[in-house]
Amino acid sequence: MLRPRIIPSLLVHKKGLVKTEAFKQSKYIGDPINAVKIFNEKEVDELIVLDIDATKQKRGPDFKLINNIAIECRMPLCYGGGVTTVEEAKKIVELGAEKVAFSASAINNINLLKEVGDVIGLQSVVVVLDYKRKGIFNKLELFTHNGTKSTGVNIFDFIRKLDEIGIGEIVLNSIERDGKMNGYDISTVEKARNIFKGPMTVLGGAGSLDDIKELTNKFKIIGAAAGSLFVFKGKYKAVLINYPSFEDKNFL
C-alpha cells in the first residue's frame, strides 16, 4: 500500500543549515552533510533541501553542495533554489537528485516547467509555492525571494495552471506558519487539493506528530514536510535531529 510521505525540509543559508520563523530570524542548525547522514540512518521517506540564498543573490544552484548532499542521500532528494534553466535542472538530476524544485523562475515563466519536463520527465518537476495573506480580502498571494517579493499572483490561479501542465508535485509553503509549530494550514491544503490532481506536499506549521496525523488522516496520500519538528527538541528548541520510526509512522 502506498503511504503518505513524511519529509524533513532543510534550508541552506551561507552553506550551513538554518531554521527560520515566518521566513525570518534564521537560527543555525549545523552542517548540511552531517544532517543528511543522520537522516539516512533514520531512513526518512524523502528529503527537501532548499537554498534560500540563491534567488536573492541572483545566482544559480550550488552544484558542489548538491553533489555532496546527493552522494550521501540514500533516499529521494528534492533540491530547490536558484534553478532557472533546463541545463541546470538536468545537471541536478545527473548529480543524483530525483526532483528539482522551482519557485520564482516558474512564476516568471511557467513554460520553463514544460521545457524541463521534456528532459528530466514532468514527474521530477516540483514547484514550491511560498504564500501568505495579502490585502483587505486576505487573498493568498505567492511570494518569492524568501517571502520579500510580492508577485501579485493568486496561489489558486497558479495551481490551476500547474495542474494543466501536469507537473510532478507542488509544495504548499505557508510563510505565516513557518517555524511556528502550531499546525498546518489545512483549509488552504483543502482548496489546493480540489484543484490539483497530482502529488502535494505541505510545509509550514508542523509542531508535533499529531499535526502530521491531522493532515494524513484528512488527505491520506500526501507529503507532510517539516523543518523545526525534525531539527528541534523541547520548548527551548535545542538542536536535535529526530524522525519517527517506521512503526511510529504506521500509527499516524
Partner 1 sequence: MVTVVDYGSGNIKAITNIYKLLKIPFFVASKPLELEDAERIILPGVGSFDYCMSKLNNSGLKQVLNRKVMIDKIPVLGICIGLHLMASESEEGILPGLGWIQGNVRKFDELKLVNKPKLPHMGWNSIQVKSASILFKGINNEHGFYFIHSYYIELLNDEDIMTITNYETDFVSGINKSNIYAVQFHPEKSHSNGMKLLQNFSEL
Binding site for partner 1 (CB under 8 A): 1-5, 40, 43, 45-46, 70-71, 73-77, 93-96, 98, 118-121, 123-124, 166, 168-169, 193, 196-200, 220-223, 246
Query: 30 or 198: whose CB is closer to partner 1?
Result: 198
Q: Closer to partner 1 at the Cβ: 93 or 181?
A: 93
Min dist. Cβ of residue 251 to partner 1 (A): 15
- List active site positions: 130
Per-residue cell: 158: 497558479
- Name the residue nearer to partner 1 (CB basis): 59 or 64: 64
How does strand 223-226 pair with strand 200-203?
Answer: parallel
Looking at the Cβ atoms of 31 and 94, the one nearer to partner 1 is 94
Nearer to partner 1, 181 or 192 (CB): 192
| Residues 9, 231: Cα–Cα separation, whole Å | 10
**In terms of CB distance, is 43 or 157 closer to partner 1?**
43
Q: Please name every residue paired with 149 in a beta bridge, in sequence order, or none if there are none.
A: 144
Residue 93, CB-side half-sphere exposure with 13 Å CA sphere: 20
Burial of 148 (0-12, 13-18, 19+ CB in 10 A): exposed
Q: Which helix (H) or strand (E) holds 169?
A: strand 169-174
Q: Provide, rounded to whole angstroms, the least separation between the CB of residue 121 and partner 1.
A: 5
Q: What is the C-alpha separation between 157 and 142, in angstroms, rounded?
A: 10
Contacts of 52 (CB under 8 A, 6+ apart): 11, 12, 13, 18, 20, 81, 146
| Least distance (Å) between residue 101 CB and partner 1 | 14
Lookup: cell for 14: 551561507
Q: State the minimum distance, in angstroms, from the CB of residue 3 to partner 1.
A: 5
**What distance in Å separates the CA atoms of residue 11 and residue 50, rounded to the nearest whole number?**
5
Task: Write the DSSP assignment of 214-242 as a string of letters.
Answer: HHHHHHSS-EEEESHHHHEETTTTEE---
Whether 93 contacts 126, CB under 8 Å: no
